[in-house]
Amino acid sequence: MVGVALLCVINSSLVRVYAPIHEVKLTRDVELVAVFKDSFDLIVKSYAEIPPYPYRVIIEDMEQEILSRKEGYHSFDWFVDTFTQIAINHKHIAVLDTIGWSYEGRPILVMKLSDDPQVDEHEPALLFVGLHHAREWPSLEVVLFFADTLTKAYGHDSLITELINSCEVYLLPCLNPDGYVYCHDEGIDWRKNRHYFEEFDTYGVDLNRNYGGATNGDYEGDWGSLVSWAVSHYPRSPIYTGEAPFSELETQALRDLILQEDFVFAVTYHTYGELVIWPWGYTLERAPDSTILEDIGYEMAFRITRQSGYGTYTAQQSSMLYPTSGDMCDWLYGYSLYVRGYPTFPYTVETCSEFHPPAECIHQIVRENFDAAVYLMAVADSIRGLRVPWIVSPVITNADYRDTILTVEWHPPVPGYRYALEKSIGWSWYIDSAESETNWWVSNGFVRSDDRSYSGSYSYFSNLDEYAAEHTHWMVTPIAFPVDTADTVTFAIWYDIEYLWDRGFFEVSTNGREWYVIDNFTGSSDGWEVKSYPLQDYAGKSIYLRFRYEVDMNEFGEGMYVDDIKIQRPDTVITIDTCIIDTFYSFVVTPGTYYLRVRGAGTRGWGDWSAWYRVTTETGIVSYSAKGWHVRPAIATNALEIQHEGNVKLNMFDIMGRRVYEMQLNGHGVTKISV
């Protein structure tokens, strides 16, 4: 059926609109599910939602389609029994683990295949993930087929045997078990998980919008950055991001697995489109490792024949399909590179030419995707050796003061070619009332405004212009500040933000890449509100502060104003040296309190700064980064009583700066020292 939209209500239908996606403004009531060169597919609940272009109805009733196709796919219980039996039958190369549980109590199962699966042999690791989205049933079948075929071929097929002996393969067929049961077993068209939100009387988060963002320092790629028809903060939307990065049990389980391994490749399977895509997904800019990502992606696509039997899959950067944020691949690539130091090369494979191909097509689909997976296993070791590291934040481990000389030592998780060391002096808390221009913030979109203020004449305003929609407005502290246990951040805020659809955020980060939502704002504040947030969870660390404003291209409120922000600033930051080739450095200091930080440089340039490390040097004693210490002189006995927590080395010096006493203090207690 081809036509133009008429005003009538229908069951959920799948329609193909014949127009380039970049020329069309979609309403936020539709669900974009596939994009082609000159057309795109939508799920709509009313023909009035269809853009005014020629269109064709592909599936008139999605739920009837589900009911007609479900018998060709396996139930969740059958999958669990079969997956478990595969591990039992091949326990010499397979181990099954439950890495988490869904909201309705179903297991999230992972199988590890290796010649010694109980041991971490530091072999190249690969991860294959199925079923983020409930209605994308073939993605489960693909990864389950991998498990069945690899285990049966081991010991009989020389290539498969060699690959399993030299790799560690992790198979996770069903990340979203509740969604699968609701959609497949119960026959309800569904995309998200089944997390129930009592406040909104609705279910579900789009798991592939719930990851932590690109973590590359470009805030347009962060979790929750809005593209109206690809990401939503509205809980009833099929593309709802959740309340915060990794808010969901399912994404937390997968994240924790990823943090335990150094994966060379990771592939997540979806339907549909017959595509192999890679980061970045939020921008058309190429990723730093685009050459490897592209070469491997094209090789994968070349090995997967289309469902029709003619031609192979298309390979392209993810954002060429449509831009989005919070997906698995952008997060995994950015996090592995910029936070862990070595990139994982992730791919999304959009299998099939439809959501639920007929049962007779499934074997061809899983077999073709298996060929690409075997290719990845074959090249994993060589690609691992080609990875160029990013110099992640070093950790300062010690500071020793002797004879006016302060020696600082640090541990680099990824060694650099050289290091830079800075010291700061005179950290103090200030109230930023926005009354004058300062360098206390770096901003994009936020401006000083005299339209509203809590005190004085000015505040910081999120701004609302034609650029605001679909873009991230933010203001962030350019330098991290050290946190003590009793520290708090306070500010005043006024906001008028379209309820639930648009959001304002207050966030903190320890590295400027991973951001943690402290609070979010939507609706109307009905005047100024004063907020206060204790920072004890970040004690001993250094943090950045960020205010962020996200709006879609539909309705707008006035925005958000922030005033009287309590922040910490140093009197001065001094560069000590930028060409240090060792992992320690000595320099002359006078008695006082200093904060030190270090960063490294490598092939990719300068990495990130470490947290500030506090050291106090005085005549006779040096203390550094020690919390919970109390020193009391016992004059009558010529002794010092030192109450201490943790393990710290104590050095004492005379007035000439000569060390006269050294002692190791361990644990919690009180130690007396004769002087």
CATH of the domain at 171: 3.40.630.10
| Per-residue pLDDT, 663 | 75
**pLDDT at residue number 655:** 43
Same domain for 21 and 95, yes or no, is: no
Reduced DSSP (H G I as helix, E B as strand, rest coil) percent helix, strand, coil of the chain, to 5: 20, 35, 40
Same domain membership, residue 351 and residue 284: yes
Strands 125-129, 168-172: pairing kind: parallel
Alpha carbon distance 550, 501 (integer Å): 9
**Regions of the chain short of the pLDDT cut 50:** 1-9, 620-627, 635-636, 654-658
Instruction: Work out the end-to-end distance of the chain between its first and last CA atoms, rounded to an integer number of angstroms.
Output: 95
In a domain, 132, yes or no: yes
* Six-digit token string for 230: 């690809």
**pTM for the whole thing?**
0.90
Cα(265)–Cα(380) distance, integer angstroms: 7
Distance CA 672, CA 674 (A): 7
Owning domain of residue 27: 2-60
Mean pLDDT score across all residues of the chain: 92
| CATH code (residue 51) | 3.30.70
The per-residue pLDDT for 26 is 87
Strand segments, DSSP code E, in 53-120 are: 55-59, 94-101, 107-113
pLDDT in tens, 278-303: 999 999 999 999 999 999 999 999 99
Determine the Cα–Cα distance for residues 390 and 408; give it in Å rounded to an integer. 23
pLDDT of res. 229: 78
What is the Cα–Cα distance from 134 to 167, expressed in whole angstroms?
30
The phi, psi pair for 175, rounded to 5°, reads -75, -25
Beta bridge partners of 112: 95, 170
**Are both 338 and 476 inside the same structural domain?**
no
Are 179 and 301 in a shared domain? yes
Q: What is the DSSP string of 592-627?
A: EEEEEEEEEEETTEE-PPPPPEEEEEETTEEEES--
Both 483 and 359 in one domain: the answer is no
pLDDT for 228 equals 65
Residue with tokens 């962060």: 222
Asked whether residue 589 is assigned to any structural domain, the reply reads no
CA pair distance 611, 480, nearest whole angstrom: 8
Same domain, 225 and 104: yes
Shared-domain flag, residues 285 and 187: yes
Q: Are residues 317 and 454 in the same domain?
A: no
Q: What is the dihedral of CA 405, 411, 414, 417, to 10 degrees?
A: 20
| Cα–Cα distance, 569 to 595 (Å, whole number) | 12
DSSP state of 388: P
d(CA 553, CA 556) in angstroms, rounded, equals 8
pLDDT reported for residue 5: 41
Q: Which residue stretches of 94-176 are H helix?
A: 138-153, 158-166
CATH of the domain at 452: 2.60.120.260
Residue 410 lies in a domain: no
H helices of 388-481, in order, are none
Q: Answer yes or no: do 34 and 107 share one domain.
A: no
Q: Which residues contact 173 (CB under 8 A, 6 or more apart)?
A: 79, 83, 109, 130, 131, 140, 141, 142, 143, 144, 147
- Among 666, 661, 639, 641, smallest CA distance to 651 is for 661
Q: Is 328 helix (H, G, I), strand (E, B) or coil?
A: helix
Looking at residue 629, its amino acid is W
CA dist., res. 493 & res. 646, Å (int): 39
Dump strand ranges (E) for 487-541: 488-497, 503-509, 516-521, 523-524, 529-534
Residue type, 658: R
Count structural domains, the chain. Answer: 4
Identity (one letter) of the amino acid at 386? L
Could you give the dihedral angle defined by the CA atoms of residues 390, 391, 392 and 397, in that order, rounded to the nearest 10 degrees? 160
